[in-house]
Amino acid sequence: MGQDRWKVAPAFTFLLFIVFLLSGTSSAPSERRKLLNYKINQRHICLGCVMMVSIIEQLTQAHKNSTVQEALERLCSYLPGKSNIRKKVRGLSNICSLPLMKELCEKIENVIKNKLPFEDFDGDKFSTFPTLRGYHWRGRDCDDGMASVYPGRRPDNWDAQQDSNCNGIWGIDRKDGIPYEQKLCNGTESEGIVLLGDSAGAHFHIPPEWLTASQISWKVYSDLPETLGNEFDWPQFSQITGFLNSTIGGWTDSIYLRLRKRNRCNHRDYQNISQNGASSKGLWNFISGLARSQKFDKPVIVTYAMVGNDVCNGKADTVAAMTTPEQLHPNMLKSLRYLNSLLPKGSHVILVGLADGTFLWDNMHGGYHPLGQLNKDITYEQVYSFLTCLKVNPCNGWLSSNDTLRNIATERALRLSSILRGIAESEKYASFDLFYMDYPLKEIAEEWRKQGGGNWQLIEPVDGFHQNPKHAQLKLQWECGM
């Protein structure tokens, strides 16, 4: 695809950033295209605007007290392309003009909706296209013209003629006339990996360089197109389904890569069905995105990891909006019954408990946000309360200076985790066995301390909320017992 359609302005970035922060609190069901129907309201525009002004201010200072106009010019010159939009931004004198910002947002929405279709020609849910929930999200299709060819399939006729499961193994060994797939894969218990998760699972990340004046340069925005296409998630680097070496810090290691290393027959057999803002309440709406056939496919390991949004929400009465144990229990049973009808026999399902979000406040509130690093003037405590004030705080319970409230959130998280544990202990299913594990935050922090790190380094700097790559890496090591 050409780069032309990506001549976008930074205003979008920040607005979209806000929209995605907000989507961290809603559990609206959405399909590929609906995912891109951003709801933009005055509050987000205002926050986007404040962030813009803040970046411009920093730029005027970092570049020898240049004027706002010069700073804006500079920001524009860092952006790819020479589109009208860029000209428009360049011509902006009143950067807080709400109607104009709104217009810009609508434009990008149209660009994404009309010109960037998800490409899946044979309708098997697997694609040869990376972003927009293509192969960065689930294994790359090796024949997008045939619905019976996709990763994870049990081989047709031992793949003597064609690679029906896209693992790169097919054909017949001339020496003995035995198909390679049969020789190499039969009896090896090859299996795939699926993640049903929230933004932590999808590996949510906004590069802090985008917001930190001293680091802004032309290079900094070069990832922008891909990042937008992936909804600010980086599943290709994530700890469950990651497969590409990271360009956002650290190297990639994932359960998928380990399964693949152990057995090359598992190549490409991964699916991430994660969504920013997902929770047990929304699970039912998107579990149907999972592509697996009891009849035709190999077993899978399914990890259910909704680690925050059952407690986190942006509602004013945040406690009332938290998932209750009485809601969680039937929701989970319904989803598990569905999985039982879908998953091939011999699969595994792992339920991960909720993370304890008091970690966020305890470790972040006094530190400086990237927007405030230049002048040492914006702390996370201020950012959190600003977000609350604008009604876009992704987690009113934990990102709050009210410790009674933070404790209520933690108690609820513990209750919900214990429901998950109880289900894993008592329910039995024919297609899979069921396990529970706590979210190992304490163990991760402990390990990181041993390596000389500080807890705050385990949290995403831009939003002060999500886990970062270091965190994910330590978590994987802990889960894999090394």
The residues annotated with a catalytic role in the active site are 199
304 binds ligand NAG (CB under 6 A): no
* Shortest reach from residue 66's CB to ligand NAG, in Å: 9
Piece of 179-187, 296-304, 329-337, 371-379 that binds ligand NAG (CB under 6 A): 179-187
177 binds ligand NAG (CB under 6 A): no
CA distances from 444 to 39, 236, 356, 416 (A): 36, 22, 12, 21
Piece of 305-313, 399-407, 437-445, 457-465 that binds ligand NAG (CB under 6 A): 399-407
Strand-pair category, 270-272 with 300-305 = unpaired
358 binds ligand NAG (CB under 6 A): no
Q: How many of the other CB atoms lie within 10 Å of CB of 245?
A: 11
* Shortest reach from residue 363's CB to ligand NAG, in Å: 20
Q: Between residues 86 and 292, which has the closer beta carbon with respect to ligand NAG?
A: 292
Selected from 2, 3, 65, 345, the binder of ligand NAG by CB under 6 A is 65
Report d(CA 66, CA 277) in Å as an integer.
40
Q: Between residues 79 and 395, which has the closer beta carbon with respect to ligand NAG?
A: 395
Q: Between residues 48 and 60, which has the closer beta carbon with respect to ligand NAG?
A: 60
137 binds ligand NAG (CB under 6 A): yes
State the binding string over 406-445 for ligand NAG (x if CB under 6 A, else -). --x-------------------------------------
Report d(CA 393, CA 321) in Å as an integer.
14
Tell which residue, 430, 358, 368, has the closest CA to residue 398: 358
**Residue 293 DSSP SS3:** coil
Q: Between residues 372 and 461, which has the closer beta carbon with respect to ligand NAG?
A: 372
Piece of 132-140, 204-212, 432-440, 443-451 that binds ligand NAG (CB under 6 A): 132-140
287 binds ligand NAG (CB under 6 A): no
Report d(CA 482, CA 478) in Å as an integer.
6
133 binds ligand NAG (CB under 6 A): yes
| Cross-strand partners of 172 | 179
Report d(CA 319, CA 337) in Å as an integer.
29
152 binds ligand NAG (CB under 6 A): no
* H runs (alpha helix) in 164-271: 180-185, 199-202, 224-229, 255-262
Selected from 89, 273, 472, 474, the binder of ligand NAG by CB under 6 A is 273
Report d(CA 333, CA 274) in Å as an integer.
19
31 binds ligand NAG (CB under 6 A): yes
138 binds ligand NAG (CB under 6 A): yes
Strand-pair category, 192-197 with 347-352 = unpaired
Q: What is the dihedral of CA 372, 375, 378, 379, to 10 degrees?
A: 90
Sort 393 into a burial class: Cβ within 10 Å, 0-12 / 13-18 / 19+.
buried
Report d(CA 362, CA 299) in Å as an integer.
41
* Shortest reach from residue 214's CB to ligand NAG, in Å: 11
CA angle 57, 63, 69 (to 5 degrees): 55
Q: What is the dihedral of CA 60, 64, 65, 67, to 10 degrees?
A: -60
Selected from 41, 69, 186, 217, the binder of ligand NAG by CB under 6 A is 186
* Shortest reach from residue 1's CB to ligand NAG, in Å: 17
- Per CB under 6 A, contacts with ligand NAG among 211-230 are none
182 binds ligand NAG (CB under 6 A): yes
State the binding string over 243-262 for ligand NAG (x if CB under 6 A, else -). --x-----xx----x-----
- Total chain residues near ligand NAG (CB under 6 A): 24
* Shortest reach from residue 137's CB to ligand NAG, in Å: 4
- The token duo for 381 is 């405590």
Binding site for ligand NAG (CB under 6 A): 31-32, 64-65, 125, 133, 137-138, 182, 186-187, 245, 251-252, 257, 273, 275, 286, 289, 319, 402, 404-405, 408
